[in-house]
Amino acid sequence: MAQGSNSNDAFFGSAMQFMQAGQNMTQQFMDYLGKAGNPAAAVPPAVDPQALTALQKQFMDQQMSLWQSVLTRQQGQGDSFKVSPEPGDRRFSASEWRDSPIYDYLHQAYLLNTQYLKELVEVIPAEDTKAKNRMRFLARQVADAMAPSNFAATNPEFIQRALDTKGQSITDGINNLIKDFEKGRISMTDESVFEVGGNIANTEGAVVFENELMQLIQYTPLTPKVGTRPLLVVPPCINKFYIMDLQPENSLIRFMVEQGNTVFLVSWRNPQEDHGHLTWDDYLEHGPIAALHVVQDICKVKQVNALGFCVGGTILTSALGVLKARGEDIVASLTLLTTLLDFSDTGEIGLFIDEQGLAAREASIGQGGLLPARDLANTFSFLRANDLVWNYVTGNYLKGQKPQAFDLLYWNSDSTNLPGPFACWYMRNLYNDNSLRVAGKLEMCGTKLDLGTLDMPVYLLATREDHIVPWQSAYQSTRILGGKIRFVLGASGHIAGVINPASKNKRSYWTNDDVKSDAEGWLTAAAEQKGSWWNDWAAWLKPLAGDLRAPRKPGNTKYKPIEPAPGRYVKERAV
């Protein structure tokens, strides 16, 4: 950039514009807060004038320091003031953001604006913790959406790639946008690479039972001997089960079979319009309860082991409470992976659920209809908007790139609908009212539920960075269930913490046999173990699997194989 007065004047003008951008961002957030963050309020909550004045002065001083620092860099005097992204933020890692003083200043000014917005949230009074967290979430959404990396005119990587490709990247980006518009969602991976039942979800087995709501898969044994007590797996119904069976090297299902278990799995149907009447009770009766009885019959046993993942764990545990009230003691051991039974703190998911929104949902789909897959997918994506939304906006549309093939993101894009009555009951009674933890408060399938009567041994896994099921909330299950509990805390998040293959033995997990203290006390006394929690769980389950016997083929004379795994239900796409 030239050193003349005209250039400096232009640069000074840019600095002033981005200081103003910070103020504009603040005003947009305050307006948004008044409409969305606090719908009952006509104006945003009152702010302490002194605190706000001090914050604004600090912001202006930092912006001036940044402007002067970039000017001195132009003159070869080095940087006296720098603003760095938060750890893990890769939006401005490319050299183009630093090669030009304009873009160097632009992205740092944006980071200052974002920092100012976050600090502003902290000085705004809130009615309670949930209201404050809602403001924090909304502020992050506004800040993420306004990043200069999201717009062609302010993204130097877009400009450089357009020059390098002689404009082809712009054409490719437009074509990518048109294709995604036709699909109704942002492409996160090259979907042409994967096939359910082909190169993912290909652990060998057969569907041995099906009803309107689910198929039951029995997997083919992989060991010369198996335990007499089978294992039933209940995955979440808000996405496809094959997150647990992506490819052989990272398949939790295959690992279970390799440990000598006869493994059965509930494959939930992707509900379509004619399934919009299904209720929470239907999911219990025709899901785990039906599956448990079939597994008993096929394996000729009185008890089985059971495992539930996420909301699958909530459904499974509820079903076991119903069976217990009926006098049926079918499950010998229970494993719950990142599961909520106490919904006191539901993380950012809970910010989407309030009385006003619930009433609207109940009025529209509570008696019938679907909660569309796209609504669920958008909700989960915007919990990590920079990684799962804006990253692909810039890559697909600005840079004209084709997303790389990644099995996890293929699964993430294969969304599911939910029946309206089921979804509304779940959100009302569990997320909003937190009634599952209270003995006798909820009635399911005609019985009052008391999870404290479940006295089988339990393996509870939570993950330390889980933004969907906060680990402290998962720990509260130790206060609800009546059996002996082993609580294990895995590293990483909701998916990566669970799908942590034993063969790679990465990350770590924490153990502590004493679950009498609160969550933080448990962690303080816990010991860190290197590697995957899978091996710890396998060792825990082994003595509960019964005596060894020769394996049998899937099904029996009553329940004959219907079709090969993974079955047709999991292949149904949301429309």
> Residue 196: beta bridge partners?
200
Asked if residue 383 is part of any domain, the answer here is: no
The total number of residues written for the chain in this structure? 575
Per-residue pLDDT reduced to its tens digit, 69-83: 888 876 666 667 889
- Mark whether 227 and 96 lie in a shared domain: no
- Mark whether 135 and 32 lie in a shared domain: yes
- Given 138, 163, 188, which residue is the final one in a domain? 163
> Residue 419: beta bridge partners?
370
- Gap between the Cα atoms of 441 and 241, Å rounded: 31
- Mark whether 101 and 246 lie in a shared domain: no
Asked if residue 172 is part of any domain, the answer here is: no
**Closest to 278 measured CA to CA, from 141, 152, 421:** 421
Per-residue pLDDT reduced to its tens digit, 270-328: 999 999 999 999 999 999 999 999 999 999 999 999 999 999 999 999 999 999 999 99
Neighbouring CB atoms inside 10 A of 153's CB total 7
- With H, G, I as helix, E, B as strand and everything else as coil, classify residue 335: strand
Token look-up 């509960």 returns 544
Report which residue type is found at 163: L
Residue percentage of the chain with pLDDT more than 90 = 77
- Mark whether 427 and 506 lie in a shared domain: yes
Domain CATH code at residue 323: 3.40.50.1820
CB 397 within 8 A of CB 173: yes
- With H, G, I as helix, E, B as strand and everything else as coil, classify residue 267: strand
The pTM for the full model equals 0.89
- Given 132, 163, 194, which residue is the final one in a domain? 163
pLDDT for 494 equals 94
- Gap between the Cα atoms of 55 and 43, Å rounded: 21
Token couple for 573: 């796409």
Has residue 20 got a pLDDT over 90? no
Full 3-state SS string of 167-221: CHHHHHHHHHHHHHHHHCCCCCCCHHHCCECCCECCCCEEEEEECCCEEEEEECC
CB 292 within 8 A of CB 306: yes
- Mark whether 40 and 121 lie in a shared domain: yes
Span 107-125, mean pLDDT?
A: 92
φ and ψ of 76, to 5 deg = 80, 20
- Residue 239's region, left for phi above 0, alpha for psi from -120 to 50, else beta, is beta
Range of the domain at 53: 5-163
310 annotated active-site: yes
Per-residue pLDDT reduced to its tens digit, 120-164: 999 988 888 888 888 999 999 999 999 999 999 999 999 999 999
Q: Spot the catalytic one: 237, 310, 424, 445.
A: 310
pLDDT for 47 equals 74
- Given 134, 163, 192, which residue is the final one in a domain? 163
How many domains does the chain contain in total? 2
- Mark whether 218 and 147 lie in a shared domain: no
